Structure 1
């Protein structure tokens, strides 16, 4: 591989269609598309100011790099992207990309980031921003810390472990998602989703888990959770502790130590399809 050390690039398409590069200590300054249509690129201790820094590229590795706020729409239409120990300050960083591995990565402005991507691995990632990870397929996540609304809208085939997620309306319109040993806070968790399982989780939600199908909660806690499970069908819920209120589940089993209020309206649901066990 050809080595590039301590350089400064600016302008448009600085390293267009260059392959087999090992780049370190380099700044991609004012301009756009410095790495476009590239392959087999390794970057370490580099910084990006240029817009659209990595597009239509494959087999790209970044270690200890910074993608600054000006580097808009950072990594799009790319495959086999591995990023470690890196700070990403720009919004909308990933779109339409496949084979993404993120380890010890921090997104300070993760708004509208990681949209319509596939085959994603995240370990020790921190995110602040709204609409993170929309319409992704195939996710393995561990140790995520996320603060922002409307995260994980429309994802499919995901497993999440040991994570803390805060912000309203997360995990809407999802399919085939399993969450282990995690804490989720914010109103309206999980609407319109199906085939969702939570194990050893704590979920705090106003009107959470409504309009869902095939929902399983195993050994979970629901503190400060009100009006839960409205119109959700085929649910199997095992709760440690209490639920403040449950409203009009469409069918299934709910077990809890106590439920503050149970609202079952014959004119809206068939109340015989739901079994509720307290104590």
Structure 2
């Protein structure tokens, strides 16, 4: 593997199309303001580098990024890239990952609106994220110990598992399909509207009007004390360890709650069953 070390690059396509390369302690910055430094590369490892220019990692294969900083000026950093691992790095440019496949991210700090769109096979752990429209239209996603903040997350996602996360969001999981959220905190209004086959297990859910217009919705041992007007027009099977302030017009299924709460039925067909079963 060829080594490139302690250099500064600012020209267009500085290392375009290279193979079997280790780039270490380099800076991609300067007055030439060149784009696409490592485009169309294969079998590349980048360590302890600084990226302040646009579009560095497009159409790459077998990429490792470790200990790097991608600044807000490093826009759209990874697009159309396959088989990449990113660890111990800062991704602070808008649209940092899009239309990629088989991406592993760990111990990173991500400040990136519109991150992760249309990505297939994302694994992320021990990472802080701030983003809007995070992971939209992505599939086969796994998050573990992710601290997330931002609006409109996980819309139109499919085949996703989330564990041990804190999600501070709104309008999350709209139109999502085949999602499991376990042992997590989910804060934010209008959660998971129009979703199908979404399951929450052992979660704390907070926010107004959650889980409306859902089909095949399931909740297992969840707390919803910070919610109101839940389950409107949803098909739901739920066992709750903490009741929401109110439930509105569930269409079908059974919602088991530990204490009485307000139940609003003001439309035809709101036939979901509410059972009160005190915790033993």
TM above 0.5, yes or no, is yes
Q: Is the 8 A contact 1:245 1:259 kept in 2?
A: no
Q: Is the 8 A contact 1:243 1:258 kept in 2?
A: no
Q: Please state how far the C-alpha of 1:258 moved relative to its aligned partner.
A: 2.1
Is residue 118 from structure 1 mapped to residue 116 from structure 2 by the alignment?
no
Whole-Å separation in 2 of the counterparts to 1:277 and 1:207: 20
The aligned runs of 1:1-279 (5 Å cut-off) are 1-29=1-29, 30-107=33-110, 109-233=111-235, 235-265=236-266, 268-271=267-270, 273-279=271-277
Q: Is the 8 A contact 2:208 2:227 kept in 1?
A: yes
Report Cα offsets for 1:139-184 as digits up to 9, x if no partner: 1110010010111111000111000000211111100000110000
Q: Is the 8 A contact 1:163 1:182 kept in 2?
A: yes
Q: Please state how far the C-alpha of 1:260 moved relative to its aligned partner.
A: 2.7
Report Cα offsets for 1:174-199 as digits up to 9, x if no partner: 00000110000010000010101111
Cα root mean square deviation, aligned: 0.9
Report Cα offsets for 1:96-115 as digits up to 9, x if no partner: 110100000111x2210100
Report Cα offsets for 1:215-240 as digits up to 9, x if no partner: 1100000022111000101x111011
Q: Is the 8 A contact 1:183 1:203 kept in 2?
A: yes
Whole-Å separation in 2 of the counterparts to 1:181 and 1:216: 14
Q: Is the 8 A contact 1:249 1:269 kept in 2?
A: no
- Find the residue that maps to 1:205 and give its secondary structure: strand
Q: Please state how far the C-alpha of 1:65 moved relative to its aligned partner.
A: 0.5
Whole-Å separation in 2 of the counterparts to 1:34 and 1:69: 16
Gaps of 5+ in 2: none
Whole-Å separation in 1 of the counterparts to 2:208 and 2:82: 38
Gaps of 5+ in 1: none
Q: Please state how far the C-alpha of 1:89 moved relative to its aligned partner.
A: 1.1
Whole-Å separation in 1 of the counterparts to 2:100 and 2:264: 45
Q: Is the 8 A contact 2:98 2:117 kept in 1?
A: yes
* Structure 1 runs of 4+ with >6 Å offset: none
